Amino acid sequence: MVQFKPYFSGEAEPPSRRLASAQKCFRTTDIDKVGNERSLTFFEMLGSFSIGDYFKRGAIELAWEFVTECLDLPEDRIWASIYHDDEDAFSLWQEIALPASKIVRLGKEDNFWGPAGETGPCGPCSEIFYDRGAEVGCGRESCLPGCDCARFLEIWNLVFMEYGQDSEGKLVPLPQQNIDTGMGLERTAAAMQDVGSVYETDLFTPIVGRAGELVRRSYGDDETVDRSLRIIAEHGRAITFLVADGVLPSNEGRGYVLRRILRRAVRHGKLLGREDPFLKEIAQVVMDVMGEQYPEVRVRRDFILEVLAQEERAFQYTLTIGSTIVEDLIAGLSSEGTKQIPGRQVFRLYDTYGFPVELTREMAAEKGLVLDEEGFAQAMFEQRERARHAQAFGLAKEGEFYRSLELPETGFLGYETLEATTEVINLARDGQVVDEVTEHDRVAVVLRQTAFYAEAGGQVGDTGTLSNPAGEIAVSDTQSPLPGLTLHYGTVTRGSVRVGDVVVAKVDEARRLDIARNHTATHLLHKALREVLGDHAQQSGSEVAPERLRFDFTHLQALTTDELDAVERLVNAKIRDDLPVVTQVTDYEAAVASGAFAIFGERYGDEVRIVSTGDYTRELCGGTHLRATGQIGFFHVLSEGSIGRGLRRIEAVTGRGAETYVRQQLHLLGRVASQLGGTIADVESNLSALISDLESQRKEALESQRSLARAEVSRVLEEVREVNGVSFVAAEVEATTMETLREMTDWLRDQLGSAVIVLGAVVSGRPGFVAAVTPDLVDKGLKADQLIKEVAAVVGGGGGGRPTLAQAGGKDPERIAEALSLVADLVGRR
């Protein structure tokens, strides 16, 4: 009735005082009930309207006539509800059609139609119900129209629109009394065809039937299966129409609703064992059944099928990623003996990958695990809090502040020009509106119009200057805290600026061009990735700055060098093709119809801008671009990496940035080359020569160390002494590493068979000791770890190890001999 509002309020003249309509209707209010016998998200609504013509009596008379004579529904099955104190309606229904016992009084919730909390026409209403019989009802004494059970089916709602609600919520009579009625086609068909639910009417049987074929189950055998088939049919029908009407899957607003119901349909297919994509098949029957009445689904057939297929593939992808993560998780937890998946992990799956919680729960249950539901709820709660917090303290707070100032929208000239002469209409300093700002003040400036681009769609805000002879502000950032309002943040660098001043607002041109290069290149990159990797490689975020661009997208594995090369080559080829960059402003539907690529998660107004680069890319985009791709100059990928499972990030440079980067790399290479004593061409051979040189030197050094060590060992073998029948060695040797020292100890032990060995050496300027005790002596109470502690204590150090082998360090290399001299005593003392 939205389009009829001005007629009801008397603001506009209707084409006729009596009107009738048939229209598509999509509501999310009943989304969780879908699957029951009567609640749909998408349905057809028939309406009749009287604009100041007939009122209650006429409406009830006509409704009764239509229901009983035109539709031929049996009179004894009809009931009505009225607004509880609408005595007029009560007596009219009695007079015209029904006994008092079949007129039910209901409250405001059900029977007062009005704009919740808003202004607009409203009034009491009266609903018409079809009684499907006590046998399908709940059987309770209190079961009457309005009951939640399946018995009474509301088919038609008559609204007696006689009031207007003002901004304080008061009801004031409208200049004329109106009628607005809505009748659900599917429910009415169910009543007329006398079937158990809307799904058994001729509107739905072909769709439900096809769904059954696709999952190889038939309708009517099993309640759970039936529910899934109904959901697939209903959601399949709804998404076909949503896409036909220009809604595209996204993470926000209506796009998110579409995504949600689409995913729900896919999931129910999966529950019934369907692994392959199937939504296209459902959409196809929907088009067959409804295409005659709604030609848009036929006209846009290919587009709809493609959007659905793409989104279904993307969701399959999400499911695949999610499933692997869940499996890993479950395996990990099971090996630790944990039976519960932490709420945080569940939340991450849901939040980062869009993996449905029900699915996580289901997969966990199969493996005998449960979810930490409380932890999950807590994580959800915290996220909402974070969002609220961010809103309270971020740009949104600024948005509130500026909303209350009611400033005019800032005109944006930045697509055509980089400089504008304009007027300062608001100045703020430290969150306070001021008339004048002076040197060194940090300020936020609102202009009547501007060439400065406010950060949006990943593109950073412009910088530049606002100046006139009396003062200048250096703008360091531009943001839009409110749709239509541009805020220039900066510092006064000269003189002063007052509200009302005329200033020249000049964008830093070189920087803006750098940004444009990166932005246009981002579009090329997006397309090139899809070409090289496949359609699943979809943008999940981007940041376009002057010095580089960052592009996040969905893909499971790291890109191979070949893939990355292919992407780079493709983008550079399109740069050399010097494709013209053309922008076109149109309405959203036309844009989508023309095949423009809408980025998931972006919000678009009714008017959208399409940016295309030749025939290569076509995207909805509000950013600032080049005139032709040739201006990008050169595109070079700096890095490619993972930012989470299934999400990759590419960082790249273009134009000046790429030039600087390449030059720096070449200079670096040049310096390396000359250090290696040759040119860049010789770098590799010179470097491998150097490496093999070093390698053989290292080997030689190692060899000589070993032979030195062997010589030392033979020397030490001559110093074996005995105390109390125990052989022992305590000697200072030459060894450059602790490893050599240990090795020498090993050799000695092998030679001696039964002995206590303590070696000391100066290793890297500090004392180092290794002690070994053969097992037979350990049994007699000699322990390497104890020995070494006392030895090392002399040099101010400590150490440890096992009874058979221990090592220690210290501080004072001068006292190694003294420390070793303790050994004889220590062994003897045992």
* List of residues contacting ligand ATP (CB under 6 A): 27, 30, 38-40, 43, 45, 154-157, 182-184, 186-187
Return the one option of Mg ion, ligand ATP, none that residue 236 interacts with (CB less than 5 to 8 A, by type).
none
Among candidate residues 792, 790, 789, the one with its CA nearest the CA of residue 815: 792
Q: How far is the CB of 404 from Mg ion (least distance, A)?
A: 38
> Which amino acid is residue 471, in one-letter code?
G
Q: Decide if 89 contacts 100 (C-beta within 8 A).
A: no
Q: Could you tell me which residues come within 8 angstroms of residue 719 by beta carbon, excluding any fewer than 6 positions away?
A: 729, 731
**From ligand ATP, Mg ion, none, which one binds at residue 182 (CB under 5 to 8 Å depending on kind)?**
ligand ATP
Judged by beta carbon, residue 157 or residue 449, the one nearer Mg ion is: 157
Residue 721 touches which of ligand ATP, Mg ion, none (CB < 5 to 8 A by kind)?
none
CA distances from 773 to 421, 786, 792 (A): 91, 11, 16
CB-based closest residue to ligand ATP: 184
Quick one: tokens of 234?
A: 């209903």
The entry of ligand ATP, Mg ion, none that residue 43 binds, CB within 5 to 8 Å by partner kind: ligand ATP
- The residue (of 183 and 806) whose beta carbon lies closer to ligand ATP is 183
Q: Which does 155 bind (CB under 5 to 8 A by kind): ligand ATP, Mg ion, none?
A: ligand ATP
Say if CB 52 and CB 59 are below 8 A apart. Answer: no
User: In the complex with Mg ion, which residue's Cβ is closer, 23 or 639?
Assistant: 23
- Find the shortest distance in angstroms from Cβ 336 to ligand ATP: 46
Binding mask of the shown chain, residues 399 to 428, with x at each position contacting Mg ion by CB under 5 A: ------------------------------
Q: Is 10 left (phi over 0), alpha (psi -120 to 50) or beta?
A: left
Q: Are 650 and 550 in contact (CB under 8 A)?
A: yes
C-beta of 129 vs 769, nearer to ligand ATP: 129
**Quick one: 68 or 727, whose CB is closer to ligand ATP?**
68
Which residue, 35 or 471, has its beta carbon nearer to ligand ATP? 35
Distance CA 304, CA 239 (A): 9
Of 203 and 330, the one with the shorter C-beta distance to ligand ATP is 203
Residue 353 contacts which entry, ligand ATP, Mg ion, none (Cβ below 5-8 A, type-dependent):
none
Cα 207 from chain centroid (whole Å): 32
Question: Least distance (Å) from Mg ion to the CB of residue 375?
Answer: 40
Phi, psi (rounded to 5 degrees) for 722? -140, 140
Instruction: Name, in order, each residue with C-beta under 8 angstroms of 263's C-beta and a sequence gap of 6 or more.
Output: 315, 354, 356
Residue type, 731: A
List the single partner that 45 binds among Mg ion, ligand ATP, none, CB under 5 to 8 Å by kind. Answer: ligand ATP
Place of tokens 């003002």: 166
State the minimum distance, in angstroms, from the CB of residue 143 to Mg ion. 18
CA 746, CA 761: separation in Å to the nearest integer?
A: 15
In the complex, least distance from residue 43 CB atom to ligand ATP, rounded to whole angstroms: 4
Sites for Mg ion among residues 153-172 (CB under 5 A): 157
* Closest CB to ligand ATP among residues 43, 402: 43
In the complex, least distance from residue 7 CB atom to ligand ATP, rounded to whole angstroms: 19
- Please, what's the b/e burial string for 26-65 (b: 16 or more CB within 10 A of its CB; e: otherwise)? beeeebeebbbbbbbbbbbbbbbbbbbbbbbeebbebbbe
Shortest Å distance, C-beta 159 to Mg ion: 9
Minimum distance of ligand ATP from residue 66's CB (angstroms)? 14
Nearer to Mg ion, 59 or 446 (CB): 59
Q: Shortest approach of ligand ATP to residue 179 CB, angstroms?
A: 13
Question: If binding is defined by CB under 5 A, does position 480 make contact with Mg ion?
Answer: no
Q: 555-565 b/e with 16+ CB inside 10 Å = b?
A: beeebeeebbe
For ligand ATP, the closer of residues 73 and 359 by Cβ is 73
b/e map of 239-253 (b: 16 or more CB within 10 Å)? bbbbbbbbbbbbeee
Minimum distance, C-beta of residue 187 to ligand ATP, in the bound complex (Å) = 4
Under the rule (CB under 5 A), what is the footprint of Mg ion? 157
